[in-house]
């Protein structure tokens, strides 16, 4: 009961302080002109997405970069919270022997992917070079993501000694050095999956919130204090952001948030040793990125689209579903996926 009260208190603490900063942060983004580009700007870059533009043209001018606030608040709180807990005699136990290495992995993932996403956002909204491309090129972004993911995978493997996968009903598989490319792939996949899913008001943030609740339960049951504290801080801050991100959104997450959140979600699943549960809990993210990948391959090799639009949520919009309807139904599905994923992880 003591641990539960502690973690809930940390969540409330994070929510309260982040809430006090959201409105001033939104105003700051307006002053900095850090806002979603209008169609004229997109046309200048040659970026034309007819179906997306048809449903989202009215969102031009809404501030982008809310994920940066969450990253700053969670990182600051986490940096202060761990020493404070130790000062008050709370032992910082972890499922792994080296709790400091686990903290380092969380910090590095959260901040490095946030910096990459922020750089991409800045290139989109502030043309500080002569590039005619809107943001980072896909190849550039992927190469940088892979480099970061490999570094993180090496930290997990060498510093924490993690190299196994637990598969329910099958057993434990030791991947050895193959764990590094496997973990890197999972990190890159989820970083892009959350980024692609972040296309409707409240969609990615809401799905992420429910996913984190599931992983929070798993971390709490094994008394992994660093993970539990980090997730509690993250959920509290994310709820505050989501209040302003639901339809009609007053602020968007931006690549700075979606990349950092997706990569860190994957890393938490890897640290818990529950990759299969992560795939179940994050299944909507997986479906979203898969739909985009299949559409891309279809257009390249079959010279036609398999779906009206990709990712999948745009197809639903094209078929006449209202944006809030898509988001709310996705949330309901996510709740059940989270419950199923947690159940699968604990049996």
- The predicted-structure confidence for 31-71, as pLDDT tens digits, reads as follows 988 887 654 444 444 455 666 667 667 788 899 999 999 99
User: Is 164 within 8 Å of 117 (Cβ atoms)?
Assistant: no
User: Is 231 within 8 Å of 219 (Cβ atoms)?
Assistant: yes
pLDDT at 242: 98
| Pairing of the two strands 171-174 and 164-167 | antiparallel
**Three-state secondary structure call for residue 310:** coil
Distance CA 274, CA 179 (A): 14
pLDDT at 45: 42
pLDDT at 57: 75
Distance CA 204, CA 198 (A): 5
Structure tokens at 275: 């990759």
Between the CA of residue 157 and those of 152, 162, 182, what are the distances in Å? 9, 5, 11
Q: What is the largest CA-CA distance in the chain?
A: 64
pLDDT at 59: 84
**Three-state secondary structure call for residue 134:** coil
Divide the 347 residues of the chain into consecutive groups of 10 and give the mean pLDDT of each group: 84 98 96 71 50 72 94 97 89 84 97 96 71 70 97 97 85 91 98 96 98 95 92 98 96 96 98 93 97 91 86 93 96 98 91
**Three-state secondary structure call for residue 96:** coil
Structure tokens at 195: 């980024």
Distance CA 68, CA 74 (A): 10
Distance CA 75, CA 72 (A): 5
Q: Is 294 exposed, middle or buried (0-12, 13-18, 19+ CB in 10 A)?
A: middle
What is the pTM assigned to this prediction? 0.93
User: Is 87 within 8 Å of 93 (Cβ atoms)?
Assistant: no
pLDDT at 135: 61
The separation between CA 274 and the C-alpha centre of its own chain, rounded to angstroms, equals 17
First to last CA, the chain: 23
pLDDT at 165: 86
pLDDT at 53: 66
pLDDT at 172: 83
pLDDT at 295: 93
**Three-state secondary structure call for residue 40:** helix
**Three-state secondary structure call for residue 171:** strand
């Amino acid at each position: 009961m003591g641990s539960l009260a502690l973690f809930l208190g940390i969540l409330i603490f994070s929510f309260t302080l982040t809430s006090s900063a959201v409105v001033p942060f939104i105003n700051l983004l307006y002053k900095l002109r850090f806002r979603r580009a209008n169609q004229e700007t997109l046309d200048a870059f040659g970026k034309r997405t007819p179906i997306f533009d048809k449903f989202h043209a009215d969102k031009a001018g809404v501030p982008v970069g809310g994920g940066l606030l969450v990253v700053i608040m969670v990182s600051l709180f986490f940096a202060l919270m761990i020493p404070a807990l130790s000062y008050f005699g709370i032992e910082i136990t972890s499922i792994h022997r080296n709790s400091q290495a686990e903290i380092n992995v969380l910090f590095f993932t959260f901040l490095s992917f946030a910096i990459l996403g922020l750089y991409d956002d800045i290139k989109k909204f502030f043309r500080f070079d002569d590039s005619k491309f809107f943001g980072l090129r896909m190849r550039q972004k992927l190469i940088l993501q892979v480099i970061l993911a490999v570094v993180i995978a090496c930290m997990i493997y060498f510093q924490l000694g993690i190299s196994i996968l637990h598969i329910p009903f099958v057993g434990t598989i030791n991947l050895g050095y193959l764990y590094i490319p496997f973990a890197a792939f999972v990190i890159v996949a989820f970083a892009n999956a959350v980024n692609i899913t972040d296309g409707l008001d409240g969609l990615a943030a809401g799905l992420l919130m429910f996913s984190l609740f599931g992983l929070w339960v798993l971390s709490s049951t094994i008394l992994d204090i660093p993970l539990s504290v980090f997730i509690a801080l993250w959920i509290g801050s994310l709820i505050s952001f989501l209040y302003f991100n639901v339809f009609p959104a007053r602020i968007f997450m931006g690549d700075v948030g979606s990349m950092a959140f997706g990569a860190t979600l994957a890393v938490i699943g890897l640290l818990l040793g529950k990759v299969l549960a992560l795939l179940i809990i994050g299944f909507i993210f997986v479906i979203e990125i898969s739909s985009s990948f299949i559409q891309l391959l279809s257009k390249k090799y079959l010279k036609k689209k398999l779906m009206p639009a990709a990712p999948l949520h745009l197809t639903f919009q094209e078929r006449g579903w209202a944006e809030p309807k898509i988001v709310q139904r996705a949330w309901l599905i996510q709740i059940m996926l989270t419950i199923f994923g947690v159940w699968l992880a604990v049996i």
